[in-house]
Structures are given as C-alpha cells and as structure tokens.
Amino acid sequence: MDLESRLELVKGVGEEIITEQELREVLATKLHPVAYDGFEPSGLAHLPFGVFRPLLLKDMIKAGVHFKLWLADSFAWINNKMSGNQTKIRKVGEYFIEVWKASGVDEKKVEFLWSSDAMGDKEYWKRVIQIAKNTTINRANRALTIMGRKEGEMQEVAQYFYPMMQATDIFYLKADICQLGLDQRRANMIARDVAPRLKLKPPVIVSHHMLMGLQGIRQPEGFEENKELDIEISSKMSKSKPNTSIFVHDSTEEIKKKIDSAFCPVKVVEGNPVLDYSKHLIFRRFKSMKIERDKKFGGDLEFDSYKELEEAFREGKLHPVDLKNSTAMYIDQMIEPIRTHFEKNRKAKQLYEFVKKQEITR
C-alpha cells in the first residue's frame, strides 16, 4: 500500500491529528510504526469499546501500524476501579481481551500488554519523575479529566500520578502514535510538550471521536479551557452511566428499547446520538444503510453515504422512528458475534459472569 493510502486510512480514524505533517513523516519513514491505546479494566464493554474501537483498529492495522493495547490495571487501581481490588481488576482485563477477540481483533497483529508489568522498572519511575518535574501543578490539574475526574474530586495523592504515568507510557512503549479518544488529549499533549526538554521524540496524536451517550448533548458543570472538548467529554457514552449506554451483551430487544429511548427529535442533526452511531459505526462497517419502511410511508430507502442520510433526516424525509429501527438493527448485527462468543465460550462466559456481578465504581 502506498503512503497516501496509508495516510488516508489513519486520517479517517483521527478526529484531530497533531500534527498531520508529523504523521506523514512517521508513515514515510516506518513501515510499521507503533501506536497504542490504554484501557482501564473498569466494567462491562459498551459500544465505544467493543464495536467502535475494533473498527478503528482494523483501519490502523491495514495502514501497517503495529498496535499495542495497554491494559491499564495499575491505573484502574489508582483510579479506584473495582474498589481498588487488584485481583478483580486483573480479571476484568482478561474479560477485555475476550471482548476484543470476539469483536474480530486479530491477536497476531496486536499486542496485549499490562501496565502493572512496568511497576517494577526503575527507569519507568525515573521517567515519571522527569515528566512531573517538567509539568506545572495547574497543568496536572487540567489533565485530571483523562481519568474522568476533576480537581475537586481528588481524594488521594496517588491520583496525581495518573497523568504523569500516562505520559510516561508513551515513551515506555516506544509509541510513535498516541491513538486514543479525544478525552485523553491532555495527557498526550503533556508528553508532546515535555519531550523536547527530555530529548525525546514527541509522539503524533491521532485522537478518535467519542461516541455520544443515548441522552445526547450534556453540558459540563463548567468549562476549563476548551469548550467543545469539554462538551464532547461530558456527552460521551460511559460504562459508569449504564442508562446512557449500549453494551455488547445487550439482547436484540434491549438494543431496540435503548435506541427507541435515545434523543432524536425530528429534523434535529446536532447532538443526535442515533445519527452519531449511523455515521461512526454503520457507515464505517457497511457500504450502505437500508431503511425499511411500510409502503404507505414511502417504502424502503437506501443511503450510500452518511451525508445523504443526514440530509434526508434534516429535511424531514426520514422520520426518527424509521432511523431508530434501522440503526438498532445494524447495531444488533454488529454486536451479535460478541454476544454469541460470551454465550458459547466457557472461559469468556465465566469472565462475563464475574464482571457482571461487580459493583461499578467511578
């Protein structure tokens, strides 16, 4: 595959790229550059994790990128996930791997790595301190949003290690590309900013879109520095807010019920989660989207692009009920292989039953 084709694949993943020129240079000089994303083992898998992420991984791998999936168990411990129980956190991480396998992630083309394995490395902690010494307290406070918390919610000094450790991970994993969600942007920017002072190469940041929760747009309590980013973080689908999420274990009926309840007013495009799923899930996976309708309502429709779908909805040519019915059908189709894996695979089923019983903590 030529450089331009590889570049377009990666650009198709990134909602924001810092910088595109640096990305081009990385792809031009490395046939298999390293990218990473980190995941706190923190509960049941939802659409962004179990369906959207594997779709993005597929394009990154196709572009020749070697991906490291960082199971951030030590971070989950710091962030008090699973009430800080490390044994439980490890089991949830094993469950995460089963989700990826079930969703079609090729184990031969990615690496599954555990952050706790770095905890005994003196060089790792030396880098943590170096980055901390080059980061102001105000900057660290602003970066706390990467762990889903704000300054006033911090109760333990250990939680302030989190952004410094995440920036350290980038260099520890020798990542050329940070390919995480936009909500992790602040930690990635710390790594970019301190890199020259530590005589390290700044990573390229390819931040992907964050799927919206079923509720639509949610305003944050206050804006910190980037209004649009803060709104997107507040509106994202979150495992810790089950009423706003669709999970990979949901039945066909549950998926339909949840989509039926989603925010989707007539002709309203902005902040519409159903359109968001159509754009980022359905049209990324399928070549077209079919809308099945009764003949008395105009009969079936088929859209070859998201743009066509959005225009039809904005103009009132597509009713929310019909859009929701079709979206639910496609999402169910994408989830079905994962759901089946956890029903039929003994190990996966046991892990799912374990995670399901755990109290989800923020």
Name the CATH code of domain 3-207 (choices 3.40.50.300, 3.40.50.10490, 3.40.50.620, 3.20.20.100): 3.40.50.620
Tell me which DSSP letter residue 28 carries: H
For the chain, the structural domain boundaries read 3-207, 240-357
Q: What is the pLDDT of residues 302-325, one digit of tens each?
A: 999 999 999 999 999 999 999 999
Q: What is the pLDDT of residues 260-319, one digit of tens each?
A: 999 999 999 999 999 999 999 999 999 999 999 888 878 899 999 999 999 999 999 999
Under CATH, what is the fold of the domain 240-357? Tyrosyl-Transfer RNA Synthetase (1.10.240)
**Integer CA distances (angstroms), 218 to 152, 184, 224, 261, 272, in order:** 20, 18, 15, 16, 11
Going by pLDDT thresholds of 50, 70 and 90, the confidence category of residue 224 is low
Going by pLDDT thresholds of 50, 70 and 90, the confidence category of residue 83 is confident
CA angle 109, 115, 119 (to 5 degrees): 140
Greater pLDDT, 219 or 135 = 135
Q: What are phi and psi of 300, to 5 degrees?
A: -65, 150
Q: What is the pLDDT of residues 95-107, one digit of tens each?
A: 999 999 999 999 8
Chain mean position to CA 338 = 17
**What is the reported pTM?**
0.92
- The mean pLDDT of 177-184, rounded to a whole number, is 94
pLDDT score of 223: 47
Is the predicted pLDDT of residue 155 greater than 80, yes or no? no
Is the predicted pLDDT of residue 82 greater than 80, yes or no? yes
Q: What stretch of H or E contains 229?
A: helix 227-235
Q: Please give the sequence-ordered ranges of beta strands (E in DSSP) within 95-220, or none if there are none.
A: 110-114, 177-178, 204-207
- The mean pLDDT of 3-11, rounded to a whole number, is 97
pLDDT score of 84: 87
- The mean pLDDT of 172-182, rounded to a whole number, is 96
